[in-house]
Structure 1
Amino acid sequence: MKFSYSKPFPKHILGPLAKVWIFYILLSVVIVWGLTRFLQKYIEITKNQTEISQVQGHIYSHENRRLEERIERTKQTLKSMRGKATYTVNVKDSIKGVLEMIPDSITIESITIDYSSLVLKGVVPSKEDFKNTIQQRLDSIFENSHVVFTPLNNGWYSFISTNSSVLPFIEKASN
Structure 2
Amino acid sequence: GALRGELDLPAGSPLVGTCGRMVPIKNQALLVEAAARVHAQRPEVQFCIIGDGELHAELAARIETLGLGEVFHLVGWRSDTPPLMADLDLFVLTSLNEGTPVTLIEAAAAGVAAVSTSVGGVPDLVREGETGWLVPSEDAAALATAILTALADPAACEVAGQRAQAEVLERFHYRRLVRDLAELYRSLLPSR
What TM bracket, shorter-length normalisation?
under 0.3
Q: Normalising by the residue count of structure 1, what TM-score does the alignment of the two structures yield? A: 0.26
Between structure 1 and structure 2, the one with the greater Rg is 1
Q: Normalising by the residue count of structure 2, what TM-score does the alignment of the two structures yield? A: 0.24
Q: Give the number of the structure whose residues are more often helix, by fraction.
A: 1
